[in-house]
Amino acid sequence: MTASHEPIPGTTIFDGRMAMKGYPLNKMCYSFNEAAARQEFLADEDAYCAKFGLTDEQKTAVRERNALALLAAGGNIYYLAKFIGMLGLNVQDIGAQQTGMTVEEFKAKLKAAGN
């Protein structure tokens, strides 16, 4: 991290190092664009994670359905969106988790900011 980049509280910076770390996880999440892949995952999650070579950290985050741990394990929010969607969550749910707010508080903050 350079001096010009200050960390954002609650946010994992997705840089080249994180891209390398998260490659297996993101590749698996990309596969969820296909209905057959989603069905295969739901039928045997452990085998599906092994198929993509997820690390123990990534497997634990998947098993625990912990979106913030998935980000910390190298997950890119754009690839994770399909997976978190399978769990009934959306990107606003993740934003709320990152900021420590409820989803309603996070939505209100976005609305107040004009987003």
Cα gap 102→18, rounded to integer Å: 27
Under CATH, which architecture does the 14-88 domain have?
A: Orthogonal Bundle (1.10)
Cα gap 59→81, rounded to integer Å: 17
Cα gap 65→93, rounded to integer Å: 13
Q: How many CB atoms lie within 10 A of CB 4?
A: 5
pLDDT score for 1: 47
Instruction: Give the tokens for residue 47.
Output: 């085998």
pLDDT digits (tens, 9 = 90+) for 21-53: 999 999 999 999 999 999 999 999 999 999 999
pLDDT score for 87: 82
pLDDT digits (tens, 9 = 90+) for 81-110: 889 888 888 888 888 888 889 999 999 999
**The three-state (H, E, C) secondary structure of 55-91, written as one string:** CHHHHHHHHHCCHHHHHHCCCCHHHHHHHHHHCCCCH
Give residue limits of the domains in the chain.
Answer: 14-88
